[in-house]
A and B are shown apart, each in its own frame.
Chain A
């Protein structure tokens, strides 16, 4: 096998290189200055600068549809949109890390190093066309995350969460690799492009290939917390420092779904009725488990964790639609738009949780929200906006995200999935309204944490503005996403 790596390849991965170099800056500074923690703000700015340079480079090199590194990486619309979304979410998350009790202060340089490397892993993941490259991206992203969670200043839950996440994540990776081995065994290649054409017939004719591709899909189901592989999510989301939870719930989920889309785009679902049915049921079960699970939670982070699970269910509807449709780009665009709206809402919600945390050991419960509206109207208003948007109330962006998603499903004849989706929306309204009840309709002495929270507040307000403005103006964005596929 001949491997040619030219300058063109290197230019295409320039976003990853840029972010990787930026990640080295703070940690090198720390080592050179005798292991003394550099100024956190400087570290943060280096991190943000690296991410923004990466984003700019990605918009330049991504989206062309070209391949790199012997077809193992591709830079198409999915890479461009999902990669940008992941970088932006990560930016929001590291801004929150700077001001959260559990993550700021000592070891902040190492944290930014890990976070940026995780983003590098994400970019590999969104652009990977080869199952093994995909695995490399997945592991780079996840290994950095395990460490980040374990590094939390919070003593009790974060270690448990890190270990749980590590164990189950490794388990998922193992399943994924196992599947990859079978795929390689039957097709002689791990590259999606090589078996893209015959995948739909192979799943019918070759049991081992079906077995392999199912295991690959199951591996993703773990990563994006599709029920019944979701059990780790609430615990890990609760135990991890809030900014990391935001990071996992947004950026990690976006890129995992991007890779999921790539595997699904091989049209394996078209060939295998069984796999298609199973995935549909998984979507339904996930929505129900997420929404019903959230109702009984009192810890705000767990509520949002279950909400994140149910959202995975909604997104899976879009992924399935993209997988069975002849014009899969419509489904894929709806997934991308939904993820975009979901990231805004989730990032904003976790920013609120971070703002409410009064120490690194403080677990924010619903009771901590009582009476927030009279004391801090802006925060309460923004949080209500996030929750109503998550519940899919028009004219917020959350409604349009769901509208495009269900529209794609109905267009593909998957009406029953759309019906399950909207029924679950109603269930979810109950727990999304509950924090609003606590904030506006109960008396209490809720207060935000006392220290400087400017950067997190800005993140929150930016999300809130986007949710309202982009909701009404969602049409052009969606068309832009969809057009980028056709070109």
Chain B
């Protein structure tokens, strides 16, 4: 029942909040709810057996018998940390938006919890239709979040976001239906269970496009590529990020983009192994282009938020690179980088939101000399900047290092180009940092009518867990990676005949990996 609780509790919270009569206590209630959800999700760690590559904590009920559709959820090392990232980041978002969301507070928090349900459901669903339901459901709250609480061009941005993502995923729906029929042919029973899908051998012909596995591969990959987003279908992201309110940006960068990369790992790579191997060059190239393109475009942005948005494109390029080199290092690095990006980019958006609340501007040229005025803010921003450009001892380093290591092993050519991203990343972040925090005081900073105040206690509390994670993940990566190791090994070793078994018995509590 644990996973269902984690998935459905936020939905209950959303309904509860929608009917909560008091405006004044709404945020406190939402914060409390999100913390409850976080602590419940921590119980997953308690019951999860990190030594097993099997699917754990499985719950399975028949949903639509006619088509073999089930309510089927389960967790393994690949999805574990993403679920926890989602539940971890929600209370931070609620506390971070304490002051910035001042209208329609009730609707905002209801949307946030609905989104949480959809995202956790996407990570845990093991049935294709259930997965699709959660996947599409996540669009609706995000659409409202950007559209109602966003900036000046919010409507353009939100519709673009919605249509882009939907355009990708509808073809996936046809592909899922087709997979259901293939499963019926192979096993005699129609099913939309992912575990049944894994058993189907889909005919593949190298070199041609019009064969079953290639077409299915691209139908799925397109949906996820748009979500990630991979260059050249990334254009919705900068718009959505810039127009979204701070909490929207945080959740978008922190979790929603990971839905795309996670699904590559869960769906595309194991389901279509031949096509993945054959077309890996395409995704590796697009990943590398994304890294360099994102970095170059970020460099010239006059708007801090847009700069970070393009840096996301660049970072997500790394993850794609890591996943498609198809070896232990790459995939482990990819998973780690998903978490890193969630933490550091989420933190960057929070920090940008904090300064925006004070000055109502995000233009880099209007800042300058902030370091002398807002020392705590500067320190925080600097640490997160270092994490974002992957300086050793921070979390970013581990992820990028593993990805580049994996790429060098598998396909060095791509690595030669990808490493330039490291340099470019340092360049645009540090240059931005210089322009904002050092030098002459900018017009917003020296404005004597509106003196700037440093971070207050609430804002420090918001940032503290993220800063702790930056160093924790940077210094002790194995605290996290040990939990995912078995699943990744299993995926890499069996990538041509992937299967997933259900973990039947629970391991005695107190079991610790490595003891």
Contact = CB atoms under 8 A, between A and B. Distances in A.
Interface stretch (A93-101, A171-179, A473-481): A473-481
B147 A426 contact: no
B163 interface: yes
Contact of A410 (B137, B139, B159, B174): B174
A75 interface: no
A393 B174 contact: no
Interface in B49-85: 63-67, 69
B174 A441 contact: no
B132 A423 contact: no
Given A426-B170, A433-B162, 5 more contacts: A394-B133, A399-B133, A407-B180, A410-B174, A479-B66
A185 B407 CA distance: 75
Interface hub of A415, A423, A441 (most chain B Cβ within 10 A): A441
B355 interface: no
Contact of A393 (B63, B137, B144, B177): B137
A482 B64 CA distance: 13
B492 interface: no
Given A415-B174, A422-B174, A475-B69, A388 B64 contact: no
Given A410-B178, A411-B181, A474-B64, A441 B170 contact: no
Contacts of A406: 173-174, 177
A479 B65 contact: yes
30 contacts: A388-B140, A394-B136, A394-B137, A399-B133, A399-B136, A403-B173, A406-B177, A410-B174, A410-B178, A418-B174, A419-B174, A422-B170, A422-B171, A422-B173, A422-B174, A423-B170, A425-B166, A425-B170, A426-B166, A429-B162, A430-B163, A433-B143, A433-B159, A437-B159, A440-B144, A440-B147, A474-B64, A475-B64, A475-B65, A475-B69
B233 interface: no
Contacts of A425: 166, 170
Interface string A302-315: 00000000000000
Interface residues of A, number: 30
A105 interface: no
Interface string B117-143: 000000000000100110011011001
A395 interface: yes
* Interface class of chain B by DSSP: helix
Interface in A414-460: 415, 418-419, 422-423, 425-426, 429-430, 433, 436-437, 440-441
A440 B148 contact: yes
Interface string B258-278: 000000000000000000000
B167 A426 contact: yes
Interface string A397-411: 001000100110011
Interface of B: 63-67, 69, 104, 129, 132-133, 136-137, 139-140, 143-144, 147-148, 154-155, 158-159, 162-163, 166-167, 170-171, 173-174, 177-178, 180-181
Nearest to B172: A422
A475 B147 CA distance: 34
A217 B424 CA distance: 64
B133 A395 contact: yes
B147 A437 contact: yes
A407 B64 contact: no
Contacts of B148: 440-441
A472 to B, nearest CB: 8
B420 to A, nearest CB: 36
Interface of A: 374, 388, 393-395, 399, 403, 406-407, 410-411, 415, 418-419, 422-423, 425-426, 429-430, 433, 436-437, 440-441, 474-475, 478-479, 482
Contacts of B139: 393
A395 B173 CA distance: 14
Contact of B129 (A403, A415, A422, A429): A403
Contacts of A433: 143, 159, 162
Contacts of B143: 433
Contacts of B159: 430, 433, 437
A394 B155 CA distance: 22
Which one of B64, B69, B163, B171 has the greatest number of beta carbons of chain A within 10 Å?
Answer: B64
A416 B139 CA distance: 26
Contacts of A388: 140
B383 to A, nearest CB: 36
Q: Which of B63, B139, B166 has the most CB of A within 10 A?
A: B166
A67 to B, nearest CB: 29
A427 to B, nearest CB: 9
A410 B69 contact: no
Given A437-B147, A440-B148, A475-B64, A393 B136 contact: yes
A430 B162 CA distance: 9
Contacts of A399: 133, 136
A350 B300 CA distance: 50
B136 A441 contact: no
A437 B155 contact: yes
Given A393-B139, A393-B140, A410 B177 contact: yes
A478 B154 CA distance: 40
A317 to B, nearest CB: 12
Contact of B132 (A394, A411, A430): A394
Contacts of B63: 475
Contacts of B132: 394
A407 B177 contact: yes
B64 A429 contact: no
A381 to B, nearest CB: 9
Contacts of B65: 475, 479
A479 B181 CA distance: 18
A288 to B, nearest CB: 15
A410 B181 contact: yes
Contacts of B171: 419, 422
Nearest to A411: B181
Minimum-distance CB pairs A-B, first 7: A475-B64, A422-B170, A394-B133, A441-B147, A426-B167, A410-B177, A394-B136
Nearest to B174: A418
A264 B162 CA distance: 37
Nearest to B106: A377
B1 to A, nearest CB: 19
Contacts of A411: 181
Contacts of B133: 394-395, 399
A411 B190 CA distance: 11
A433 B344 CA distance: 33
Contacts of A403: 129, 173, 177
A456 B104 CA distance: 28
Nearest to A426: B167
Nearest to B137: A394
A261 to B, nearest CB: 20
Nearest to A430: B163
A256 to B, nearest CB: 27
A395 B129 CA distance: 10
Contacts of B140: 388, 393
Nearest to B150: A441
> Which of B137, B162, B167, B174 has the most C-beta atoms of chain A within 10 angstroms of its own C-beta?
B174
A454 B143 CA distance: 31
Nearest to B64: A475
Contacts of A426: 163, 166-167, 170
A475 B159 CA distance: 31
Contacts of A440: 144, 147-148
Contacts of A394: 132-133, 136-137
B137 to A, nearest CB: 6
Contacts of B136: 393-394, 399
A423 B173 CA distance: 11
A66 B171 CA distance: 42
A393 B132 CA distance: 10
Contacts of B64: 474-475, 478
B162 A415 contact: no
Nearest to B146: A441
Given A407-B67, A475-B69, A441 B137 contact: no
A403 B67 CA distance: 11
